[in-house]
Structure 1
Amino acid sequence: MGQPVVHFEVYGKEPDQLGKFYGELFGWNVQTMPDMNYTMVRTEAGKGIDGGIMAAPQGQSNGLTFYIEVDDLRKYLERIEKVGGKTIVPPTDIPKVVSFALFQDPQGNVVGLVASAMPE
């Protein structure tokens, strides 16, 4: 069985505008988390995945990232390197929220990994 896509992020120069746009357009519950400079998105659809909206990373103007759940971030990053990808952000813990990493595929797309277990 394959690994599931479990989260998405939309980013741009004006994240508040993006939150309002997607919230109004699709009826999503959009909650700003100022202490994290992040906006949580709950699609409230009963299926599909939830996500987030944030300011674009430095040097980028806008984009999308999806996150795939895996059991071991380091193991998958090693596999990614072996098949032609590149680690962009090493395993990073946000206590009591998530452990994640980012990699770049051979064509330059940035994709996220999320650990199955939540960090303490």
Structure 2
Amino acid sequence: MSTPLENTVTWFQVGSDKPEEVEKFYGGLFGWNFTPDPNSDGYDLITYPGSDTPSGGIAHAPDAAANHATFLVLVADVAATIAAAESLGGKVLVPPTTSKDGLVFAHILDTSGNNFGVFTPAPR
């Protein structure tokens, strides 16, 4: 498996107040597999058929207003990326957050109001 390049889209997330239904939908449509994330409550990891490495996740949303589909970009430094985004007119939706395993992520609004995420992987 090759290491993804920085500043590229390497993860996606679907948020749903009906995670079982969207898992059934995407599983039936594309053959995706789902497993609970051991490092995050209310989050299921998505793996593609024939792959052992997750490529995305299903976030369990509290209600339909929080449903979403977004992409995440691998970056070297989440805080520096947020500062650069703000200087270019972006807004921080979710400040840097560290998961149990050390992955750091944040969500940003671009200048058109689109929500996307940035993250640095957990240390190995």
Q: Which has the higher strand share?
A: 1
2:114 alignment partner in structure 1: 109
CA contact 2:36–2:43 (8 Å) conserved in 1: yes
Q: How does 1:1-120 map to 2 (within 5 A)?
A: 3-33=7-37, 36-44=41-49, 50-56=55-61, 60-96=65-101, 98-115=103-120, 117-118=121-122
Segments of structure 2 that go 5 or more residues without pairing to the other structure are none
**Root mean square deviation, CA, Å:** 2.5
TM-score (norm 2): 0.81
Structure 1 ranges of 4+ moved more than 6 A: none
CA contact 2:15–2:60 (8 Å) conserved in 1: yes
1:38 CA displacement: 1.2
CA distance in 1, matches of 2:123, 2:92: 20
TM-score (norm 1): 0.83
CA contact 2:6–2:76 (8 Å) conserved in 1: no
1:29-71 Cα deviation digits (max 9, x unpaired): 112348611111101356xx71011233667242211100000
The 1:80–1:59 alpha-carbon spacing in structure 2 relative to 1, beyond 3 Å, is farther
CA distance in 1, matches of 2:59, 2:43: 5
CA contact 2:16–2:63 (8 Å) conserved in 1: no
Segments of structure 1 that go 5 or more residues without pairing to the other structure are none
CA distance in 1, matches of 2:90, 2:16: 25
